[in-house]
Amino acid sequence: MRRPEARLIVVAMSTSHAYTQPVPDQRHQASADAPAAAAKGARFSLRPLCVSDREAVRTLFAWLSPESRRRRFLTAKPKLSDRELTYFTDVDHLRHEALAVIDREDSSIVGVARYVTWPERPGAADVAIEVADDLQRNGIGLMLAEALIRRARENGVRVLTATTLWENHAACALARRVGFRARSSAGTEIDLELQLPDDAEHNICSGLGASRWS
């Protein structure tokens, strides 16, 4: 089965596109300067990606180490083409959704999560998450994953898929934490899948105290 264009790999919303959400900056909160750390608590916010973010997405890619790029694309990736930048930023927020984490100090994009629906599999979409190297393992990937899953459910997606490398233990751990399960593997790659309940089923489970994020 052919994957959506620009194959999406896991590395590391409300329906309103004006939505923002503060994200704790755990790096600063863990510093010795507690008062300054508290002031940095709302340094990051979450919003939908848009066409005007083209250069910010290019910059985020430039910040990724060669290893992060390899894990993102499963191959060496020295740069993004203009065509790829257009594809990654000109999204319809339905068949192709993309969310960005913004550093409010300089308005830079430090993380992106997206899904793209499968052309041959109605109700299914492929997922990718990337976070700037110096901010990985600080909770941004988890926040992006959970927000993207909520958005996918709102848009009627019922199955999310992802592919990563067996060696990428951080990505595998993040995927497991939000409910993905291994479905198949080939060589160095592992394919993952997450079944999403519809809103009614999700609300019933929530009412019973169940949580797929625990």
Name the band, by pLDDT with cuts 50, 70 and 90, for residue 29. Answer: very low
Q: How confident is the model at residue 21 (pLDDT cuts 50, 70, 90)?
A: very low
Residue 72: which pLDDT band, with cuts at 50, 70 and 90?
confident
Q: What is the mean pLDDT of the chain?
A: 78
Q: Give the mean pLDDT of 56-62.
A: 96
* Average pLDDT value for residue range 85-93: 97
Would the pLDDT of 207 be above 50? no
Residue 7 has pLDDT above 80, yes or no: no
The set of residues, in sequence order, having a beta carbon less than 8 Å from that of 204 and lying 6+ positions away, is none
Helices (H), the chain: 26-29, 34-39, 54-63, 66-73, 82-89, 140-154, 169-177, 199-207
pLDDT at residue 199, rounded to an integer = 60
Cβ neighbors of 186 (< 8 A, separation 6 or more) are none
> What was the pLDDT predicted at 133?
92
Q: Quick one: pLDDT at residue 205? A: 39
Q: Kindly report, residue by residue over 144-187, the tens digit of the pLDDT.
A: 999 999 999 999 999 999 998 888 888 999 999 999 999 988 88
Name the token pair of 86: 């257009």
For the chain, give the percent of residues with pLDDT over 70.
73
**Of 157 and 40, the one with more pLDDT:** 157
pLDDT of residue 116: 97
Q: Which of 39, 10, 43 has its CA nearest to residue 138?
A: 43
The average pLDDT across 93-102 equals 97
pLDDT tier at 68 (50, 70, 90 boundaries)? Answer: very high
The residue that leads in pLDDT, 214 or 202, is 202
Give the angle subtended at the CA of 124 by the CAs of 121 and 130, to the nearest 5°: 130
Tell which wins on pLDDT, 63 or 212: 63
Share of the chain above pLDDT 90, in %: 55
Give the angle subtended at the CA of 213 by the CAs of 1 and 154, to the nearest 5°: 60
Let me know: does 99 contact 150? Beta carbons within 8 Å.
no
Query: Tell me: the pLDDT tens digits for 99-128?
Result: 999 998 899 999 999 999 999 999 999 999
